[in-house]
Amino acid sequence: MDHLDDTPCEAYGCYKHAKRPALGGQGAKGMIPFKYDLITFMKDARRNQHILTSMHMINFSKTYLKAWMDTYVDGNVDPYKSLLRLCQSFATRHRFSKLIPYYTKLPELDMALILNDFAATF
């Protein structure tokens, strides 16, 4: 009962001392058990200014997680296509956008040297 007008709380759509049904524990479980290792590999590749593609992610999985790769491939009709799509959706979910390599951009070390030279003149 509501203490103001003797209306039961259920009439308002709320319950005393109850959790909200839509909070906590929702969401799909990830298919990739080594996601932190894969994210570290992807960040290292970007940090070192290397091109990162889905094939690089697949090769990383083949090299370091052969047992998982074999079980994943055995359960699919078209293993190459499903593995490629899995890596693409994983990259999108973790906010790795498609980057186009620009060859006019200087390497990071050269940019730092130019910045230091410029800062020394002032």
Domain ranges of the chain: 29-112
**Which of residues 85 and 2 earns the better pLDDT score?**
85
How far is Cα 86 from Cα 101, in angstroms, rounded to an integer? Answer: 23
pTM over 0.85: no
> Residue 49: which pLDDT band, with cuts at 50, 70 and 90?
confident
How far is Cα 29 from Cα 13, in angstroms, rounded to an integer? Answer: 30
Tens-digit pLDDT profile for residues 57-76: 999 999 998 998 999 889 88
- What's residue 84's pLDDT? 92
Nearest to 46 by CA among 35, 30, 57: 57
How far is Cα 82 from Cα 76, in angstroms, rounded to an integer? Answer: 7
